[in-house]
Amino acid sequence: MIAPVSPASRSAHRSRPEATPYVDLSRAQWSALRAKTPLPLTAAEVEELRGLGDVIDLDEVRDVYLPLSRLLNLYVGATHGLRDALNTFLGARGSQSGTPFVIGVAGSVAVGKSTVARLLRALLARWPEHPRVELVTTDGFLLPMKQLKARGLMSRKGFPESYDRRALTRFVADVKAGKDEVSAPVYSHLIYDILPDQRLTVRRPDILIVEGLNVLQPALPGEDGRTRVALADYFDFSVYVDARTEDIERWYLQRFRKLRQTAFQDPSSYFRRYTQVSEEEALDYARTTWQTINRTNLLENIAPTRGRATLIVRKGPDHKVQRLSLRKL
Does the annotation place 112 within a ligand binding site? Answer: yes
Does the annotation place 46 within a ligand binding site? Answer: no
What's the pLDDT band for 55 if we cut at 50, 70, 90?
A: confident
pLDDT the model gives residue 177: 92
> Does 21-327 carry CATH code 3.10.20.600?
no
Q: Which range, of 66-70, 217-221, 246-250, 292-296, averages the lowest pLDDT?
A: 217-221
pLDDT the model gives residue 227: 76
Does the annotation place 113 within a ligand binding site? Answer: yes
pLDDT the model gives residue 47: 86
The mean pLDDT of 227-245, rounded to a whole number, is 95
Does the annotation place 167 within a ligand binding site? Answer: no
Give the whole-angstrom CA distance, residue 123 versus residue 68: 9
**Which one of 1-5, 36-40, 292-296 scores highest in mean pLDDT?**
292-296
Does the annotation place 114 within a ligand binding site? Answer: yes
230 in Cβ contact with 214 (< 8 Å)? no
The mean pLDDT of 192-216, rounded to a whole number, is 96
pLDDT the model gives residue 1: 46
Every domain of the chain and the residues it spans: 21-327
Does the annotation place 258 within a ligand binding site? Answer: no
pLDDT the model gives residue 94: 59
Does the annotation place 6 within a ligand binding site? Answer: no
pLDDT the model gives residue 52: 66
Average pLDDT, the chain: 91
The mean pLDDT of 38-53, rounded to a whole number, is 83
The mean pLDDT of 52-60, rounded to a whole number, is 82
Largest Cα–Cα distance in the chain? 81
pLDDT the model gives residue 89: 87
